[in-house]
A and B are shown apart, each in its own frame.
Chain A
C-alpha cells in the first residue's frame, strides 16, 4: 500500500501543505493572549470605574457618612451637603416617567404586534364593499413596519434635543393646563404649587417620551416571539382577540415586557440632560407635580464644571450613589431578560 503514495518530502508530486512557520505559530499564541488580555481589560475597566469613583468619594464618605443621604441642604459655603432631595427627585421623576412610558410603550407594542391597522382598514373596506387590490393590500402592513422603524430611530435622538424641545414646546403647552389644575384642584397635594417654568411634570413627560421607544421595541420583540400556536389554540377555543392578548400573549411575553420596563427604568434613573434642562434644579422635596426639583444626575451635571476640590469629593459620593442605584436596577433587568430569552417549557 505505502509504495503507491508518493513521497511527501520530495519526488515529482510535491505537496503544497507545510507546517506553520515559526512566526505563524507564535503570532497565533500572541494573538490568543492579546484577545484574552482585552477580555480581562473589559472586566477591569468596569472595576476601575467603580474604584476611581469610590476612591475619590472616600474622604466625603468619611466626613459625611449616612448624613449625606439623609441630609436635605446643599450649601457649598457652609460645607453642608445632603442629597435626599436629589434621591427623591430621581425616584419620583423616574417612576412617574415609567408609569406613563410603560403604559404607552406596551400599548404601542400590542398595536404593532396585532396588526390592528390592517384589520381596521380591511373591516372598513368590507363595510363599504371595497375589494383590495393585491398591490395596495400590503400598504397597512408596510406602514406599520415604517412606524416600527421610526420608533426605533427616535430612540437614537440625543437627549439634549429632547431637552431643548421640552423647554420650548412642552412647558408652554402644559402651562395653562397646570395653572387650571392648580387653581381648581390645588387642595390635592400633587397640584398644590404653580408651574413656574421648569418642574417635575414637564421633566417626567419628556423622560416618558424618551423611554417609550425602549419599552415598545423590546416589548414588541417579546410579543412577536410568542409561538403562533398559542394564539391559534386560544382562537380555536373561542377566545376573542383581547381575551387572547390579555390571557395568553401578554402573560407569555411578560418576562420580556417586564425586563423592558426595568431597563427603561434604569435609563430614566441615569438620564441627565433632559432633566438638567427641565427639572428646575431646586433642592426641594415635594409631592407636587409642578414644583421644581432636582435629580442626582442633574446635580452632577450642574455642579461639576465649577466645583472646588472639596466639592468634587462630595459630588463623587453622589455619583457613587447613582452608580449603585443604576447598577442594581440594570442587573435586575438584564437578569430578567436573560430568563425571558430561555425557551419556555411546554410551548416549544
Chain B
C-alpha cells in the first residue's frame, strides 16, 4: 500500500487523510497546529457546506455534528439600496468613509427580497470544532500526525527522502502556495476584490416572518455584500449555535480594506459590524438587539485574491508535489463555495489515489487528477468571479425581479433554482448567460418575468 504525505490539516487535507486511511493506506498529515491550538484559535472560514459536500462527509462517517448544528433550510436574498437612489448618488472617488467615521448615517432600504428553499439543508460547523476533532480522529484511526509548519525547504528534503509515494499540499495560506504557478488564463483578478470582515456572534433573534434557520444574504449597492449564516461554534469546552456575520466590502467603498485596518478588540469589532448593519442592512440590525461575541477570538478580517494555480509543484531536488483545495483553486468567499470546493477536491483526489494504488503517482497522473477536479471547480470559479462585479448585469436584475415576483405569489421556483445553483454550481449556466436566462424565465415563469429589452 502506498505511503501518502498530506501537508495541511484543513477541510481538504483531513478529509482526504481520513478517506485514504479508511481505504487502508499509510497516511501522514503535517499540521502547523495541534487540535488544542486549532480549537483555541480564531475562526478560519464561514464554511457553509451545501448538501452534496455534506453527503461526502456523511459517506465517510465524519458528520459528527449533524444533529447539534442548525439546519439551514433556505437562502434569503435581499437587495439594499441607499435612500437617495441607486447607484449614482453614492459613487465616490477614493476611499468612502465607514459609518463610524460619519455623523450622518441614513439606513438603506430593502428593494428586493425573496427566499429560495433548499430541498436538503446546509450546515456550517466552525472549522475550529471540525478540524480539531477530525485531527484527533485521524490519529485515533491510526494516521500519523506530525506537528510542523512546513516550508519549501522542508518539502524539498521530505520528497528527496523517498519516504512517501505521493505528497499532497493542502495548506492554502502559507508560503507553500508559492510552489504553484498562477494560471493567468483562469485567474481574471490579481488582487483581492472584497474586504472581508467576519465575526461569530450569539443572541440574534429570528426574523418574525420566518421562524427557521436560513442563510441570509444581501447585495448592498455601492458597498458590497452582507451574510448572516447560522452555524455551530465553540463555547468554552462545549459548543453553541451562533450567527456568523460577514461583510464583504468593495475595496474602495465605505467597508473597504481601509475600514478594517485598525487592530480592534473583539467587542470593538462587533460594535462596528453592528453599526454597519444599522446603515446597510437595517432589517438584520433589528434582529441584533442582544447580540454578543461567542468567544474570545471570534473575528476574521482580510481578503483573498481569487486565483487558480497550476497543480504540480516542482522542488529544487526534483521532487513533485500535487496541490489540492484552495492551494489550486481559491475563490472569493462571497458565493460560499470554499469549504465545498475543498470537500469536492478531496473526494475526487481520494478516488484517483485509491484507483491508482498499484501504479505510480507521476506527473501525468497528477495533471489528470487535477483536471478531473477542475471539471467540477470551473463552475463555482466562473460563477464566483462573475459575482465579483460591483454592479449586476442587466439580465441578473431581471432574474432577481422575477424571483421576487414568484416569491410574493407563493411560487418560489426561480428563487429555489438560484438556491440550488449555489449547492450545485454546474447548474448555474442559465444565470450567467443573458440568452439562457431569458429563455429560462420565459419557459418556467413567464408571469413573473419582465420582458427582455429588444436586441438593437
**Do chains A and B interact in one complex?**
no
Where the two chains meet, the residues of A that have a C-beta atom closer than 8 Å to any C-beta of B are none
Where the two chains meet, the residues of B that have a C-beta atom closer than 8 Å to any C-beta of A are none
